[in-house]
A and B are shown apart, each in its own frame.
Chain A
Amino acid sequence: MSILVDKNTRLIVQGITGNEGLFHTTQMVAYGTSVVGGVTPGKGGEWVLEKIPVFDSVKTAKDATDANAAIIFVPARFAPDAMFEAADAGIPLIICITEGVAVQDMMRVRSYLDQKKVRLIGPNCPGLLTPGEAKVGIIPGDIAIPGNVGVVSRSGTLTYEVLYAMKNLGMGATTCVGIGGDPVNGTNFIDVLEMFEHDPKTEKVIMIGEIGGNEEEKAAEYIATKMTKPVASFIAGQTAPPGKRMGHAGAIIEGGAGTAADKIKALEAAGVKVAKHPEEIPTLL
């Protein structure tokens, strides 16, 4: 078992003929993910990697392939439209890798997708990895092994660091979920913690947060009141100065709120073990 993606995932790639889309499609297919189609308007009828059909729209791709998930690799200015289109075509799970989507666009996207009850992961995220079953995103496949730990994170390479440290200890993951570094995203910590809590295969959880917003604090409350499985955590940005955006659009201390210290305090009060550095996290479980 796992969450969100597994052997039954039938994926289409929006932006499949672009540089990034093509590179990562190749990686995903090599990992064993079932990529059933791609979308690039104007290139319908072409083929990618000799076996993946390209369509002009998500709707035609969905009708032809019965896809149940879509991943987006289009530039930021086109990403909102790609998300609306996927939702409108009836795709129940959308993963948006694209970085740099405008906040007001994301507010409109999120509002529309909520009404359609569509699950969005990201944007500005590395996607999903269920080791041994499916890689839907850009997380390098060889740094993680199957296991019983659920991993959820706002970051990309920091997550790779943790997966790699886990692997070195022989510890594997059920699913790794990168929820992304933007201030307004599709899925938050609590959504994923809830899925892990209900996933029979997941026995423990690692949550990787960072400065900005209050999602970690809300997650702490959820962990304290609703979760039975142990959670270990790490919060990045303890040395970040206030008022500066630390690379991620969402990683900013505003008006004294969103500090690492506040988040660590809330998590520790909820019984979560918080690591001092990322390589220490797996040893806390």
Chain B
Amino acid sequence: MKLHEYQSKTIFSKYGIPIPKGRVAATAQEAKQVAEELGGRVVIKAQVLVGGRGKAGGVKLAKDADEAEQLATQILGMEIKGLPVRKVLVDEASAIDQEIYFSITDDRAARKPVMIASAAGGVDIEEVAATDPDKIIKVHIDPLLGLREYQARDVAVAIDLPRDYWKDFIKVAMGLWEVYKNTDASLAEINPLVITKDKQMVALDGKMMIDDNALFRHPDLAEMRDTDEDAPAEIEARKYGLSFIKLDGDIGCMVNGAGLAMTSMDVIKLFGGEPANFLDVGGGADSKKVAAAMRIILTDPRVKAVLFNIFGGITRCDEVARGILTAMDEVKPKVPMVVRLVGTNAEEGRRLLEKANMITAETLADAAKKSVEAAKKGK
């Protein structure tokens, strides 16, 4: 789960990381009011969960409150990479002397958290990594020991930070470690961390991602979820505990197990078709879940055929078959359905579906071929 800049920075501030004065606003009038309170020049920043908002015109400098209102009106009407801007952050403008990149994130390969810093801050860190990898410093953190101050100091030295700022930097680093650990973040990023002309170290921008699997211990963070970037069908699927991802093709897929679901998409493609979605009904899927899955697949008008691929283990094929029948009663689908049931209670499942006028298949390859043919006929 991604957090907005204003949410991330509020969390940073709670852990002693200095952030600019400012507040989030949902209307231009509110933005004007915040600007009046702050006085002087302010920055208006679109709050959307995609990168590159600066280039898209979503970050603007205003010289006073009136201009802040004008610019906020503009930005609040924008869409950035397809996402509507619903909120803007109004921050006091900073006079910047130096920009640093600093983050703590999961290093999956090392199975440890890693602290990443660069003197080349303020730009896309992946670009720096590609063009100037020597400018990026990485230090791993022992997950049981946590970040130690000497490690933060080593990083300050490595990015050529003047001695006067070591203390401030260590405070920011230790604070960000506590943020990362206490919120179960998979990423806590400050880019840029700036030194202002009046020699203050401030987190000008912030970005956080929270591990979905840890949200059970962070109900406050779970409430911050912004579902704007998710397709409506994905939100609906989440309610039923289904793992669903919308794609661009015309063959709907319902499969049990994530690996097999991905594979079913791949095999459809292999035989010349295009999958409309990824959908894992999960282990032990019951008829209610199956019916919900089918409704979600069939709400997409582009779907010309549906492939059911169920390998029964914990999941019982007869239970899935009952779910398919229930859903067909309810949804009355008009597209052809190809079904393949193997494993636990498969025979009973196939028997139940005999009268349902479905195309049956023995192997995955066969099922994929038949669904590709069926989708082509439906065009």
Contacts and interface: CB of A to CB of B under 8 A. Distances in A.
Contact count band on A: 35 or more
B98 interface: no
Interface stretch (A1-9, A100-108, A222-230): A100-108
Contacts of A104: 106, 113, 143, 181, 184, 211, 214
> Interface centre among B143, B184, B214, B270, by most A CB within 10 Å?
B143
A241 B247 contact: yes
A181 B261 CA distance: 13
A181 B365 CA distance: 24
Interface stretch (A35-43, A44-52, A151-159): A151-159
Contacts of A208: 259
Interface string A147-183: 0000001111111110010000000000000000101
Nearest to A213: B108
A210 B311 CA distance: 18
Given A77-B216, A157-B257, A277 B263 contact: yes
Contacts of A140: 312-313, 343-344
B313 A157 contact: yes
B126 A255 contact: yes
> Interface centre among B184, B243, B245, B259, by most A CB within 10 Å?
B259
Contacts of B143: 104, 107-108, 110-111
A262 to B, nearest CB: 14
Interface stretch (A85-93, A195-203, A244-252, A266-274): A244-252
A139 interface: yes
Interface in A106-153: 106-108, 110-112, 126, 138-140, 143, 153
A76 interface: yes
A15 interface: no
Interface string B96-113: 000000000010110111
Contacts, number: 163
Contacts of B216: 76-77
Contacts of A81: none
A238 B259 CA distance: 11
Nearest to B315: A157
Contacts of A183: 106, 108
A211 interface: yes
A124 to B, nearest CB: 9
B259 A102 contact: no
Contacts of A239: 247, 262, 265-266, 268-269, 275
Interface string B239-264: 00001010100000001111111110
B245 A246 contact: yes
A184 B270 CA distance: 31
B270 A246 contact: no
A139 B343 CA distance: 11
Given A104-B184, A160-B311, A240-B265, A111 B258 contact: no
Given A277-B270, A278-B364, A111 B262 contact: no
Given A153-B259, A157-B311, 15 more contacts: A104-B106, A110-B111, A111-B143, A140-B313, A155-B260, A156-B259, A156-B283, A160-B311, A161-B342, A181-B258, A236-B259, A236-B260, A237-B266, A247-B257, A247-B262
9 contacts: A107-B111, A140-B312, A157-B311, A158-B263, A160-B343, A181-B259, A246-B278, A247-B257, A277-B267
Those 6 A-B pairs whose CB atoms lie nearest each other, nearest first: A247-B258, A155-B259, A157-B257, A158-B259, A102-B214, A107-B143
